[in-house]
Amino acid sequence: MLTPNLKPTFLFPGSAFLFMMQITFIGTGGSAPTPSRGLPAIAVHAKELLLFDCGEGTQRQMMRYKVGYGSVRAIFISHMHLDHYLGIFGLLETLRMNSPSPKPLHIFAPSAFYEKFLAISGYKAANYKFVEIHAIRTEGDGKNEVKIYENDEFEVSAFPVEHGMRDAFGFVIKEKDKIKFHEEKAHGLGLKGKLFRTIQDKGEVTVGGKKIKLKDVSWVKEGARVVYTGDTTISKSVASAAKGAALLIHDATFSSESHASETEKREHSSAKDAAEIAKKAGVVQLALTHISARYSEKEDKNRLLEEAKAVFPVTILAEDGLVVDVK
């Protein structure tokens, strides 16, 4: 999907697709799987392969949808409900068996994850030296977004959501801001080749005796953002984190017309809730996920989609295997 206000841009000629994020929905069910929906997991190609949540069966889903599970560099667990993390143990075991020395893998999870890891995998911890576990903590008033991971081109932040428990997080995957050149102007002033690198490093460069300042020939393109809520009821922190995002992937466990229990309403969102947040945050596109097993029939799924579209038209209903490109 080409998002209308984020057309491909060029840092240097030929780099057209360098900063694309590709999102593959690995599992789009909620709580319990169905024959057509696996448990929560979303793969994001953001220079490296990152995995957000890892429900039971994720490794097999990744094989099925040809997302190279062997190249996952970091896994982010939104909260410690079983349907969001059980698959991590099987995936680690397969990675360990497939290679005598697997590449380092970072796991970011609520602090309670560590004891689960020890219990299931720890008895042969020597086999898991490639795994580094980090506890996610957000600071202060519990409303802040905290950067927890980065690579050359992207960074991942966590922010608290409202799921009726301590330590439930959403994530922002953000392309780093880029310096873009007004190419005609820059070329006109004689800027070419390695000088583009020099002016970025030093802030200015002298060409033919004339000093050219970076800010006079360039602008800053804010990086695209993809926001994944994990499980949450309607939450201000999501609206804030998602402001202007290219894609918001939101909990849409039930329909606003269904008789969801009070507990469910405190812990999850309806498709309509998700759409209202998307509208408030002014995102480009909304994807509904964490669909309850009760919506297995096509008409039920359409109901979810239609109620969201009535509020926020640019909405898709995630399906297992769906690929979305953010450019």
The residue among 188, 213, 220, 209 whose CA lies nearest residue 199 is: 213
Q: Can you tell me which of 24, 28, 31, 232 binds a second copy, judged by CB under 8 A?
A: 31
Q: Can you tell me which of 11, 18, 20, 86 binds a second copy, judged by CB under 8 A?
A: 86
Q: How many CB atoms lie within 10 A of CB 67?
A: 21
In the complex with a second copy, the residue whose CB is nearer, 97 or 125, is: 97
**Catalytic residue (one of 53, 83, 231, 273):** 83
Among 118-126, 192-200, 220-228, 278-286, which window interacts with a second copy (CB under 8 A)?
Answer: 118-126
Tally of residues, the chain: 327
| Cα 120 from Cα 244, distance rounded (Å) | 40
Q: Can you tell me which of 40, 87, 170, 230 binds a second copy, judged by CB under 8 A?
A: 87
Instruction: Give Cβ neighbours of residue 270 (< 8 Å, ≥ 6 apart).
Output: 252, 253, 254, 255, 256, 258, 260, 307
**Is residue 93 a contact residue for a second copy (CB under 8 A)?**
yes
Q: Can you tell me which of 3, 11, 48, 90 binds a second copy, judged by CB under 8 A?
A: 90
| Cα 72 from Cα 108, distance rounded (Å) | 13
202: tokens are 């030093």
**Is residue 94 a contact residue for a second copy (CB under 8 A)?**
yes
Report in angstroms how near the CB of residue 15 gets to a second copy at its nearest.
Answer: 34
**Is residue 310 a contact residue for a second copy (CB under 8 A)?**
no
The residue among 27, 29, 15, 66 whose CA lies nearest residue 45 is: 66
**Is residue 60 a contact residue for a second copy (CB under 8 A)?**
yes
3-state secondary structure of 160: strand
Q: For residues 84 and 68, is the Cβ–Cβ distance under 8 A? A: no
Q: Which residues lie across from 213 on neighbouring strands?
A: 204
Per rule CB under 8 A, count of chain residues that contact a second copy: 28
Q: Can you tell me which of 24, 51, 56, 239 binds a second copy, judged by CB under 8 A?
A: 56
Active-site residue, 83 included? yes
Q: Which residues bind a second copy (CB under 8 A)?
A: 31-35, 38-39, 56-57, 59-60, 63-64, 82-83, 86-87, 89-90, 93-94, 97-98, 115-116, 118-120
